[in-house]
Structure 1
Amino acid sequence: MSTPATTERRALVVEDDEDISELIGFTLAKQGFEVRTVHDGPSAVTAVPEFDPDLITLDLGLPGLDGLEVCRRVRSETDAYVVMITARGDEVDRLIGLETGADDFLAKPFSSRELAARVNAMFRRPRRGPQAEATPSPEIAAPAMPGEDHEVLRHGMLTVDVDGRQVHRNGEELELTRTEFDLLTELMRTPARVWSREALLRSVWGNEWASDTHLVEVHVGNLRRKLSQGAGDQRFIRTVRGVGYRMEAAVTA
Structure 2
Amino acid sequence: MSTPADELKTAVIIEDDAEIRHILAEVLESSGFSTVSVGNGIDGVRAVLTYKPLLTTIDVNMPGIDGIEAAKRIRAQSDTFIIMLTGLSEEADVIAGLGAGADDYLLKPFRPRELRARVEALLRRSRGVPAAPSPAPATQGDVGPSFPVRTATSAVPTAPAVGDVDAPAPLVVAPASGSGGAAGRVPVDADGEWLEHRDLRLHPENRVVLIGGDELDLTRTEFDLLATLLESKRRVRSKADLTLVLRGESYVTSYYVGDADKRAVEAHMTNLRRKLGDSAANPRYIETVRGVGYRLTAESA
Runs of 4 or more consecutive aligned structure 1 residues displaced over 6 Å after TM superposition: none
Of 226, 237, 243, the residue aligned with 2:275 is 226
Moved more, 109-118 or 34-43: 34-43
Moved more, 73-82 or 187-196: 73-82
* 8 A contact 1:71–1:101 mirrored in 2: yes
In the alignment, does 2:292 pair up with 1:243?
A: yes
**What's 1:88 paired with?**
88
* 8 A contact 1:97–1:105 mirrored in 2: yes
1:156-235 alignment runs, 5 A limit: 156-205=198-247, 206=249, 210-211=257-258, 212-228=261-277, 235=284
Distance change (3 Å), C-alpha of 1:135 and 1:203: closer
**Gaps spanning 5+ residues in structure 2: where?**
131-178
| Superposed CA offset, 1:29-80 (max 9, x none) | 2222232222111111222222222221100111211101111222221222
Specify the SS of the correspondent of 2:47: helix
1:128-147 alignment runs, 5 A limit: 128-129=128-129, 132-133=180-181, 136-137=187-188, 141=189, 144=191
- Give me the whole-angstrom Cα distance separating, in 2, the residues matched to 1:226 and 1:220: 10
Higher helix share: 1
- Give me the whole-angstrom Cα distance separating, in 2, the residues matched to 1:84 and 1:61: 10
**Gaps spanning 5+ residues in structure 1: where?**
145-149
* 8 A contact 1:81–1:102 mirrored in 2: yes
- Give me the whole-angstrom Cα distance separating, in 1, the residues matched to 2:7 and 2:122: 16
Distance change (3 Å), C-alpha of 1:166 and 1:52: farther
* 8 A contact 1:228–1:234 mirrored in 2: no
Specify the SS of the correspondent of 2:224: helix
State the 1:136 CA deviation: 4.9
Distance change (3 Å), C-alpha of 1:217 and 1:135: closer
Identity of aligned residues (%): 41
Equivalent residue letter for 2:127: R
Equivalent residue letter for 1:222: N
Instruction: Give the TM-score normalised by the residue count of structure 2.
Output: 0.71
Q: CA RMSD in A?
A: 2.5
- Give me the whole-angstrom Cα distance separating, in 2, the residues matched to 1:126 and 1:239: 27
More contact order relative to length (CA 8 Å, sep ≥ 6): 2
Equivalent residue letter for 1:23: I
* 8 A contact 1:201–1:209 mirrored in 2: no
State the 1:209 CA deviation: 6.0
| Superposed CA offset, 1:16-36 (max 9, x none) | 112211211221122222322
- Give me the whole-angstrom Cα distance separating, in 2, the residues matched to 1:9 and 1:209: 28
Equivalent residue letter for 1:42: I
Moved more, 22-31 or 86-95: 86-95
